[in-house]
A and B are shown apart, each in its own frame.
Chain A
Amino acid sequence: EVQLVQSGAEVKKPGESLKISCKGSGYSFTSYWIGWVRQMPGKGLEWMGIIYPGDSDTRYSPSFQGQVTISADKSISTAYLQWSSLKASDTAMYYCARLPAGQQLVKNWFDPWGQGTLVTVSS
């Protein structure tokens, strides 16, 4: 069974750094894109970026470029989303999801999704 398991909820202060994780299992981790999606409280889904663990090719949404860093460690089948200096506006649920239709982005979609990691940033 293809599964993505995310790290647990985090409570941080503004200005702190954070790295959350997403561990894939049940498939060849290096052969599929993994994406990150933000959902702010009561709001819709926002695509943040994607990474292809096979060669670490990474693409960012213009809205998130420079705001976060996406990385992957293929030796442990894990993708990461990190912030160097959190803001209160980063408070949200963050989901990772696999793109199952191979290396081509054009025809791809998100499935399955991780369970989500809630990040709360408050002083």
Chain B
Amino acid sequence: EDQVTQSPEALRLQEGESSSLNCSYTVSGLRGLFWYRQDPGKGPEFLFTLYSAGEEKEKERLKATLTKKESFLHITAPKPEDSATYLCAVQATSGTYKYIFGTGTRLKVLA
């Protein structure tokens, strides 16, 4: 069964304290892995797509990486405005139109 697991569930960081969020996945074949940011009371906002192991994408303080079993979202020198829930999703080759979401990591960055 296709599955996505995110860890930790919640993370508190001091401003400037770098860390990583993990997304482990089990799929028969990976078509794409997606990272989203979700602010309270809003819809998920797209951040990155990764397609194959070894691929990396960067945007400001965020960097996403992908291996054959997991993805990491690295946050370098975070700021309070980076506080949000970060969601990971995969699209498997077996289900062209379906996306499987993890339950997210709630990140709080303290000033």
Question: A and B: partners?
Answer: no
Residues of B within 8 A of A (CB): none
Residues of A that sit less than 8 Å from B by CB: none
